[in-house]
Amino acid sequence: MVTAIALEGRYVNVLFKDCLFTPSDRTSDRLPVQGATQCAVFSRSRVEERRTEIHNFLAQLPESFKADGGGGDSFKNATKDNRGNDWTGVNLLIVVEQLVQLGVAIGEVRYLRHDPMDRSMRFVVEQ
Is the pLDDT at 127 greater than 50? The verdict is yes
pLDDT, average across residues 104-115: 86
Closest CA to 71 of 43, 26, 112: 112
Mean pLDDT of the chain, nearest integer: 90
Q: Which residue has the higher pLDDT, 114 or 91?
A: 91
Quote the CA–CA distance of 44 and 115 in Å, as a whole number.
25
Nearest 5°: the CA angle 56, 88, 75 is 80
Quote the CA–CA distance of 21 and 98 in Å, as a whole number.
14
pLDDT computed for residue 1 by the predictor? 46
Which DSSP helix (H) or strand (E) runs through 111? Answer: strand 109-111
pLDDT, average across residues 94-107: 96
Is the pLDDT at 119 greater than 60? The verdict is no
pLDDT computed for residue 41 by the predictor? 98
Is the pLDDT at 29 greater than 90? The verdict is yes
DSSP string, 39-67: EEEEEHHHHHHTHHHHHHHHHTS-GGGBT
How much of the chain, in percent, has pLDDT values that exceed 70? 91
pLDDT digits (tens, 9 = 90+) for 48-72: 999 999 999 999 999 999 999 889 9
* H-only helix segments in the chain: 9-19, 44-49, 51-59, 93-105
